[in-house]
Structure 1
Amino acid sequence: MAKAFADFARDLLAQESVQSTLEEITALAVSEIEGCEFAGVSLVEKKKNISTHAETDPLVKRIDEIQYRTGEGPCIQAVWVREVFSVDSMDGETRWPRFTAEAGPLGVGSMCSFQLFTHEEILGGLNLYSSREHAFGVEAYEIGQILAAHAAVALASAQTEHNLQRAVRTRQRIGEATGILIERYRITDREAFALLAKASQNMNVKLSALAEELVHTGSLPDAD
């Protein structure tokens, strides 16, 4: 078991993007957690909105969307509270009546949700689903918590790498855009950046997006 979890960690950290990390998390959940037929990862966006970013079956997104719309369900609870939340039977569950009333007929008998978090932030939730009632036992909860911990570290690392790469690309694009303005108008780099920043403000467009447009088209878009 220790070797299996070490392999989990290596497999997750080896992924090349945020999306591939998410897809590996859900694939591992289905293959390694007893009772799990489908899995999904929900992420917190802008510290309040929750949306599904990876799922092993279209049914996962349908079930998740019911939770987001009704504001009920184990995923909603697990994302904000550092505990495991589960539904042993959709028919017998009383805590989230609006959710279970809609989710039960879709073919989900039970589910289990774990918070994805680091010491710095809440990332989202790992959600497990089964067509059978009472599908998840104590071992599934234990393995799920360990997988969720590995997944959170790998996901945080992938997001950090993505943000750094995006920052580098943005800096490069702004440099290329100011270079175009310098050559065209025979101005200094400071004047070129000021011109770009002023256009960004006047058009209410992000500086990075405006720089991207200038690099691709060779001209600033019309303010009108």
Structure 2
Amino acid sequence: MINQRNHELAVRMADLARNVASPSSVDDVLADVTKTAVELIPGADSAGILMIRKGGKFDSLAGTDDLPHQLDVLQMTFNEGPCVQAALDEVIIRTDDFRSEHRWPKYSPAVVEVGVRSGLSLKLYTASRTAGALNLFAFEPNAFDSEAETIGTVLAAHAAAAILASREGEELQSALSTRDRIGQAKGIIMERYGVDDVRAFDMLRRLSQDTNTRLIDVAQRVIDTRQTA
């Protein structure tokens, strides 16, 4: 049974790795991660991903049903809970029975009311503006063990890789867009004032400094003047 489960895990990990490396959307990859968690971790009834942004805003992602979002709302309302703690502080937090769990005096009774008895939360990563956790829930107590933690940790790593890869792609696209707009603005200035590209960029830079305006915004204004001329 264990060998079969290890084989299934290896196959699914390979699939997830290919998805991270492919053009699949990050939402698709995260949905695969939570679905795989419920399939491969015995006792897991529901799974989701909680992302906490700077300022206390949060996103519930890739829930296998509505339960993870419901519990995320409770945690953010009470400002306590295992998913929040795993995302911000701990690496792994396991709760064997919320009926006797005293670490979160407001959250635990609320969880019991909706029928959840045990949980497992695993940190994805913590960046300067965002933290996240993969969270598993079960309707039975003592649903998770060390094997569940091992499988969950691997899945959390794949989720983190997908999110980071997506953000790197977005940053690259933003950088390319910025470069293109500055290039367009330089070309307009070179044509309009008969200067070379070095001088055109210097004019943009000086205008940015003199007006305390971002260089990309100055470049956009130059482009806009040509478009409206």
- TM-score tier after normalising by the smaller chain length: 0.7 to 0.9
Q: Is residue 201 of structure 2 the alignment partner of residue 190 of structure 1?
A: yes
Q: Distance in 1 between matches of 2:111 and 2:217?
A: 41
Stretches of structure 2 that go unaligned for 5 or more consecutive residues are 1-5
How high is the sequence identity, in percent, across the aligned residues? 32
Structure-2 separation of matches of 1:200 and 1:69: 43
Please tell me whether residue 28 in structure 1 is matched to residue 39 in structure 2: no
1:187-223 deviation line (CA, Å, top 9, x unaligned): 7533763487369746xxx65567668868945xxxx
How does the TM-score come out when normalised to structure 2? Answer: 0.71
TM-score by length of 1: 0.73
| TM superposition shift of 1:54 | 1.1
Alignment of 1:156-175 (within 5 A): 156-175=164-183
From the superposition, tell whether residues 165 and 147 of structure 1 become closer, same or farther in structure 2 (CA, over 3 Å): same
Post-superposition CA distance 1:31-72 (Å, at most 9, x none): 3222222222223434x7462251322321221122123221
- 2:98 matches 1:90: yes
1:85-164 correspondence runs (5 A): 85-117=93-125, 123-164=131-172
SS at match of 2:106: helix
CA distance in 2, matches of 1:21, 1:199: 46
The letter of the residue matching 1:55 is: A
- 1:127 is paired with a residue whose SS is strand
Equivalent pairs, count: 213
Structure showing greater radius of gyration is: 2
For residue 89 of structure 2, the aligned residue among 56, 62, 81 is 81
- Of residues 27, 31, 34, the one that matches 1:19 is 27
Aligned Cα root-mean-square deviation (Å): 3.6
2:100 alignment partner, SS class: coil
Contact 1:182 1:192 in 2 (8 A): no
The alignment partner of 1:97 has SS state of: coil
After the TM superposition, which residues 57-68 of structure 1 pair with which residues of structure 2 at under 5 Å, given as runs?
A: 57-68=65-76
Of residues 171-180 and 190-199 in structure 1, the stretch that sits farther from structure 2 once superposed is 190-199
Relative to 1, partners in 2 of residues 1:116 and 1:122: Cα closer, same or farther, differing over 3 Å? farther
Change (3 A) 1:190 1:149: closer
Q: Is the 8 A contact 1:12 1:154 kept in 2?
A: yes
